[in-house]
Structure 1
């Protein structure tokens, strides 16, 4: 293993030397290397935005308690679940072969599992996406919860609901997201 590391390091040093010599010369390869460096080194990949979003959302990861909201009640899990298939935050995507930010939680559930709101609120939107139904609930002026993967919806838009109200029944999984005015929040305390 050590030998292969040394060889790889030597190859990297050699490539850096060749690139450096090529850039300093007037050879035509200089322009090719400069264009490649400009495209890959100077291109804005939005890393600053993603890092800022990650740092803003780490404040909710630091505490082991419930997500603070403007309510006297504690949040509850939206449903019984078998396992968490995908957690909030940065995850490796096998298809794209890169890290991607996942703004919610994907739960594996038994079919027809009852779903309840995490807090009391008002149903803002009931819609259909592909083969599943979605619900958006407003809990306070700046706190929303989003539920996707319902096969049956038992509430209607503009309906006021409490935590005991059944929103609907799931298919084989449920996507849940918690949002405020700045974007998605980490709901880890609801899914230990």
Structure 2
């Protein structure tokens, strides 16, 4: 399967965003801790509240949810059956990762309790750098369909020229044998 490193990295960030969004929804009081189903199971395992105000927690949850939707759509775009160029999808993926980085920087610089969502130390930045590395790796090793099409066209032209030359040679040999 092509683009496996990018898919893995983007899926991990989508999971991070989904779980973090659930945490923030619980923080805003929009997701009850004791509720049944998957939401209850997820929120019961999440860490203690971050200390955000209710409107802030809801807004950050919406931002993260939007990033998760974008990441999911980008993963689907990378694996689309159409065989179109992946360049635009890679650009969108890089933009979404940059948005996650921007959220981290804004929370860290402003001293927001949201910064604790990203953990302590350089682990978050290292994971983000690896994700950009995965996108770059997949971009560099992706097959070049344009080059393949050009190669096939050149090979067809060579084969057509070879057949034409053989036909002319046969025609010349047959006209020489008629003369002699």
Fold similarity call, TM over 0.5: no
User: Shorter chain as normaliser: what TM range?
Assistant: under 0.3
Report the TM-score, using the length of structure 2 for normalisation.
0.22
Q: Tell me which structure has the larger Cα radius of gyration.
A: 2
Which has the larger helix fraction? 2
Report the TM-score, using the length of structure 1 for normalisation.
0.21
Which has the larger strand fraction? 1
